Structure 1
């Protein structure tokens, strides 16, 4: 369950774990997509938008069997902004795709943030998700996911150039490194009790002890008091720390002041097109979205007036 190995390295270096400035690369573009939710075909249509637009080099390329492989060298970072699984028909396929890209890309160039559905694997006794992929994971797979956090393969947040990437975001300011350290601490504690008699009690305690990272809020977990994997976009004010988030469904990428929400795949499941990625450079933020005829449409977003 989501090993997220980092190429030939057992662990992502701490600097590379937390943000693009920690990479040994010359200003790589950051490509992000969120809430793949087991929809492998839609994930493919989103990730191939760059190669199908005349102004962009491809992020991935397909082999003779149609499998996507990393094609961007050290010139790109891919941020999968939470919620790889549940809802769709091919959870294993999405995980396999992301893990393959993580192995093939240079260490630290594929980053995955903790979504509330990865959260549901770790803290399964706190939600009733037995019918979903996340709720059916074994204790061994839960430990494996804890180890992915420890290695830096799964993080709470990632610092881009002008925005911080997190699945749901926070109202108050934060540093990605701090949240990631706290997520590691929680995962190490949880791993020691997975499958033991104190497992459920440990889950409850950790969610309370690490509220900014793991906390459940009001209104089915998404309201006031929610942590970085759970907060609904409606509760993020426009003057919050600049963030790129997923979690809350949108028809197209939406900007509200300093905050951009990129969760578009589920809302476009019944439409032709709509799958999209965001592309951030030091100077710009744009979306590349599928059109109904299979083309790619580019849209620009405002950079925040103040950066983090």
Structure 2
């Protein structure tokens, strides 16, 4: 059976994972108490690989931080081997034209880094890979994936290679966030349960029907707030940052575009890459250490800047 919506454009193909799924175990839901490790978060790359590369390499160009990645002469990024956790906080694909290479970057760093050092979170555009009939985006990379690629991504989610949330030092990480406290373990368990439901549905020939049930069955993660998507009752993949109350527990999110990392109460949104496509510079990451949260961004001249958020 076909797993994707029909489209006249040629199908897209997901890169093969370097990580061996049969040896992969789901990651811990929180950073270990004894780790003083900085956490680097980048969100909403959307296939803009050059901007992601610029943002990630900027970390090592500052006086405050060691490199999180190294770069080959051809621009290929590798894990630098320093003491970090790196969070790809959702929406790796769909807007730019280097989606395959962006996913290959995530896979390569997952393979090169020690277990637990690199995390890949679902965003609403990864949700579109899993639920193409619910989020009907046939002109996008996620909408054009071939059946084999869609099943392979489902296997990544089922194996725990892709999750929804993570508890950092003081901040909780998810793609869009929540007005209240996030039960990280429950959210990640819901993601794996949804993947198992979808896998069983494919085997039973009921993939389309089960897709439509997932947002209501697992609303904390996939909820669409009555179908509108970005409302205040939407799940962790969808809620717009403007609905974040100022008294929410501390969170690091993406999803909602900003020119610069933006704080609202105890929550910080780091989705800057796509908004800054219109100008030179502006791409960046967030870095959480036990004592503070910083943004590392490029200015219009290419210099890496560090400031607290």
Fold match, TM over 0.5?
yes
Q: 8 Å contact 2:179–2:232 — kept in the other structure?
A: no
Verify: 1:248 aligned to 2:261, yes or no.
no
Counterpart position of 2:296: 288
Q: 8 Å contact 2:93–2:99 — kept in the other structure?
A: yes
Counterpart position of 1:65: 74
Residue in structure 2 matching 1:53, options 62, 69, 85: 62
Counterpart position of 2:52: 43
Deviation at 1:72, TM superposition (A): 3.0
The 3-state SS of whatever aligns with 1:178 is helix
Deviation at 1:249, TM superposition (A): 0.1
Counterpart position of 2:189: 181
Verify: 1:235 aligned to 2:250, yes or no.
no
Q: 8 Å contact 2:172–2:182 — kept in the other structure?
A: no
Change (3 A) 1:5 1:93: closer
Give the distance between the partners of 1:26 and 1:248, measured in 2 at CA: 30
- Structure 1, gaps ≥5 residues long: 302-308
Deviation at 1:134, TM superposition (A): 0.3
Q: After the TM superposition, which residues 109-128 of structure 1 pair with which residues of structure 2 at under 5 Å, given as runs?
A: 109-128=117-136
The 3-state SS of whatever aligns with 1:244 is strand
Change (3 A) 1:195 1:41: farther
Deviation at 1:114, TM superposition (A): 0.7
Counterpart position of 2:219: 211
Which has the larger displacement, 233-242 or 160-169?
233-242
Counterpart position of 1:134: 142
How many residues of Structure 1 are paired with residues of Structure 2 in the alignment?
Answer: 296
Q: After the TM superposition, which residues 93-172 of structure 1 pair with which residues of structure 2 at under 5 Å, given as runs?
A: 93-172=101-180
Q: 8 Å contact 1:3–1:148 — kept in the other structure?
A: no
TM-score, normalised on structure 2? 0.91
Change (3 A) 1:58 1:175: same
Counterpart position of 1:27: 36
Verify: 1:222 aligned to 2:221, yes or no.
no
Q: Deviations over 1:275-297 (max 9, x none)?
A: 01100011110000001111011
Q: Deviations over 1:189-237 (max 9, x none)?
A: 1012237642111011121111011111257411133110011101111
Give the distance between the partners of 1:82 and 1:121, measured in 2 at CA: 12
Verify: 1:82 aligned to 2:95, yes or no.
no
Verify: 1:18 aligned to 2:29, yes or no.
yes
TM-score, normalised on structure 1? 0.91
- Over the aligned positions, Cα root-mean-square deviation in angstroms equals 1.9
Q: 8 Å contact 2:21–2:156 — kept in the other structure?
A: no
The 3-state SS of whatever aligns with 2:58 is coil
Counterpart position of 1:304: none
- Structure 2, gaps ≥5 residues long: 1-13
Verify: 1:268 aligned to 2:264, yes or no.
no
Change (3 A) 1:201 1:8: closer
Change (3 A) 1:228 1:137: same
Deviation at 1:65, TM superposition (A): 2.2
Deviation at 1:144, TM superposition (A): 1.5
Give the distance between the partners of 2:182 and 2:238, measured in 1 at CA: 15
Give the distance between the partners of 1:38 and 1:247, measured in 2 at CA: 14
Give the distance between the partners of 2:206 and 2:105, measured in 1 at CA: 34
The 3-state SS of whatever aligns with 1:189 is helix
